[in-house]
Amino acid sequence: MTQHKDEHLQSAVHAAAAEFINRESNRRSLITVTHVELRDRGKNARIFISVFPPEQTAAAIDFLSRQKDEFRTYLRQQIRSRSLPACSFLPDPNMGSIQES
């Protein structure tokens, strides 16, 4: 993929993930999409999130893992593309160092 297409897909996945989480979460914790990383020429997307309070991170990742199929359906509605990336949700490793400060 060209860099422009990568950036466009990355931005679209970021926006769709943020909207999906906002719509589907139970509001017991604040879940924020921090960034999206594309791999394998756009075939895989790693969606990094931060969670407040931090103790709810494992529960949020578990919730999003269970909702993976619903997110893919939502992503298909939001992004008009031949192939959608396989998405995985991960805690943002950079957020741990910020919270310790």
- Give the contacts of 70 (CB within 8 A, at least 6 positions apart): 20, 24
Tell me if the pTM is above 0.85. yes
Q: Is 20 helix (H, G, I), strand (E, B) or coil?
A: helix
Closest-CA residue to 12 (of 41, 51, 38)? 38
CATH superfamily label, 3-100? K homology (KH) domain (3.30.300.20)
pLDDT string in tens for the chain (101-residue length) = 578 888 999 999 999 999 999 999 988 899 999 999 999 988 999 999 999 999 999 999 999 999 999 999 999 999 987 789 999 999 999 876 555 44
Q: How far apart are CA 11 and CA 15, in angstroms?
A: 6
Query: Do 20 and 34 contact (CB within 8 A), yes or no?
Result: no
Which residue ranges make up each domain of the chain?
3-100
